[in-house]
Structure 1
Amino acid sequence: MQSLKDVYIHQLQDLHSANKQALKAVRNLVNAAASDNLKRALERGVSGIEDGTGKLETLIRAHDADPDGAHCKGMEGLVREARSHALKEEFDDDAVRDAVIITQYQRMAHYAIAGYGCAAAFAKQLGLPNEAQTLSGMLDAAHSGDETMSDIAEQKVNQRAAL
């Protein structure tokens, strides 16, 4: 990588890879969740990830780059953890599984938040205001999903899991 633009494009590709991996995992989390409220929030997460993946692909292609030009090892690890802890683990209580699902979702969301924030800052520095605005919107959506999960956990799931 020779320039900030090279770093920027690589970060977009990394986020594209991360989203594709997270999408599969979150779809599985939807199926594993017991709480209807959590299921709906996860389904909105799936829609948001799909939307973000499409936007990333458009941004990457605008720079004549391949959206599949990177593989995100960070999200690979987070997805592996989500499968291990939330999907393969045996639970005696659905609320406990839901608490773990929220935890794993939020870990993936925090990775996306960091990535979108960095990419938006790079786009701004590179004089790409439209791309910075798109990425900032994606960052806001990731924050919103994270806050929704915190609300679900704090208002119901964690209380039921603690019983």
Structure 2
Amino acid sequence: MTIATLRDLYIDQLQDIHSADSQARAVTVKLAEAAENPHLDSALHAGVEGIERGMEAVASILARHDAAPRKGHCEAMAGLVREAQHHAVDSDISDAGVRDAMIIAQYQRMTHYAIAVYGSLVAFAQRLGYEDDAATLEACLSRTRDGDKHLSEIATRDVNRQAA
């Protein structure tokens, strides 16, 4: 697809976040399985549910614009997922607290990518006059930011102390 207008860019980025969320969902399940801290495990499972809600919201927006989720992969998220898999799931980390700290670091990298994309999408939707889309995307952005903040709280309250 040639991107010639802000609407084209908007659709492209909706497809990008749908792909990114799909990839992040799969590795987040693995991160939850690897987590030792019960608060972290719970937060990651909530993260999976949030990612799924975001995917549903984006798919609905795409359908309203006669577009579909992209078949290909978001290359940026693919790299972040590879890093999460390598560093937090497959690596030989003998201390559970250190592994949990690594899981949080890797998950937050993926989350920050999603925050950047959702933020851009909200701005695009507002500029294009798609107020319903903007409200839906703002809710996705807010949930993603809240999840990120919650992980930071778990890290500072429990995990980093245990890892140290």
**TM-score, with normalisation over the residues of structure 2?**
0.97
Pair 1:157 & 2:159 matched:
yes
What is the rounded CA distance, in whole Å, between the counterparts of 1:111 and 1:8 in structure 2? Answer: 16
1:91 CA drift (Å): 1.1
Counterpart position of 2:92: 90
Contact 1:10 1:70 in 2 (8 A): no
Structure 2 counterpart of 1:114, one-letter code: A
Q: How does 1:58-69 map to 2 (within 5 A)?
A: 58-69=60-71
Matched residue, 2:81: 79
Instruction: Give the gaps of 5 or more residues in structure 2.
Output: none
Aligned partner (choices 97, 104, 107) of residue 105 of structure 1: 107
Q: 2:161 aligned with 1:133, yes or no?
A: no
Deviation at 1:47, TM superposition (A): 0.3
Q: Do the aligned residues in 2 keep the contact of 1:23 with 1:50 (CA within 8 Å)?
A: yes
Q: What SS is found at the alignment partner of 1:71?
A: coil
Aligned pairs for 1:19-30 (under 5 A) are 19-30=21-32
1:8-35: per-residue Cα shift (whole Å, max 9, x none)? 0000000000000000000000100000
Distance change >3 Å, CA 75–CA 131, structure 1 → 2:
same
Letter in 2 for 1:111: Y
Query: 5+ unaligned residues in a row in structure 1: which ranges?
Result: none
Deviation at 1:68, TM superposition (A): 2.1
TM-score (norm 1): 0.98
Question: Equivalent residue for 1:51?
Answer: 53
Partner Cα distance (2:54, 2:76) in 1: 18
Alignment of 1:6-17 (within 5 A): 6-17=8-19
User: Residue 13 of structure 1 contacts residue 70 of structure 1 at CA under 8 Å; is this kept in 2?
Assistant: no
Give me the whole-angstrom Cα distance separating, in 2, the residues matched to 1:85 and 1:71: 21
Q: Who is 2:146 aligned against?
A: 144
Distance 1:142 1:70 in 2: 23
Amino acid at match of 2:158: K
Please give the alpha-carbon distance, in whole angstroms, between the structure 1 residues aligned to 2:73 and 2:135: 25
